[in-house]
Structure 1
């Protein structure tokens, strides 16, 4: 089942390769969406795909030794038709 989530990541998530790691893992898991740094030091992401694969993406990010996610806020949002890739914004 195709789902889309809007996620805020808090913790040590900037300056540690978070966006690059998210993009690589999302592509490997055939997920679409985007990720970007926020001015307040957090990271924002929208990710779309199979729910199991989205959970696997979160596990990949949590297992990275440089990234330390202290908190997440996750909202399920409507899917977007026609989206074909995962990209880094900003």
Structure 2
């Protein structure tokens, strides 16, 4: 079964390779989607794949890479979003 989510991560998450490490995790779990910095300092992650793989990425986003400090994570399920093949950094 395929699941799509939007994850908003706040804290010290820009300038600490959060997007690059998210891409690495997404590729590891064969997810498609993207990660991008938002003007308000958060990182937005949109991902699609198996339920288990998406949940692993969500759990990882609660920790992030070693240089990040994750203060808050919001997730929302999406439906019918047309995502690129693979996982992009935007």
| TM-score calculated relative to the size of structure 2 | 0.87
Q: Deviations over 1:4-63 (max 9, x none)?
A: 001111111101100000111101110000110011111111100112112222333415
* 65-74 or 22-31, which deviates more: 65-74
For the 8 Å contact 1:48–1:79, the answer to whether it is kept is: no
The DSSP-based 3-state class of the residue aligned with 1:7 is: strand
Q: Match of 1:86?
A: 87
User: What is the rounded CA distance, in whole Å, between the counterparts of 2:25 and 2:89 in structure 1?
Assistant: 12
Aligned partners of 2:66 and 2:36: how far apart in 1?
20
> Where does the alignment leave 5 or more consecutive residues of structure 1 unmatched?
none
Structure 2 contact 4–77 (Cα < 8 Å) conserved: yes
The normalised TM-score by structure 1 is 0.87
CA drift of 1:81 comes to: 5.7
| 1:4 counterpart = 2:38 | no
The match for 1:76 is 77
Instruction: Provide the alpha-carbon RMSD of the alignment.
Output: 1.7
| Contact 2:11-2:71 within 8 A present in 1 as well | yes
Aligned residues: 89
- For structure 2, the 5+ residue unaligned runs are none
Q: Does 1:14 align with 2:41?
A: no
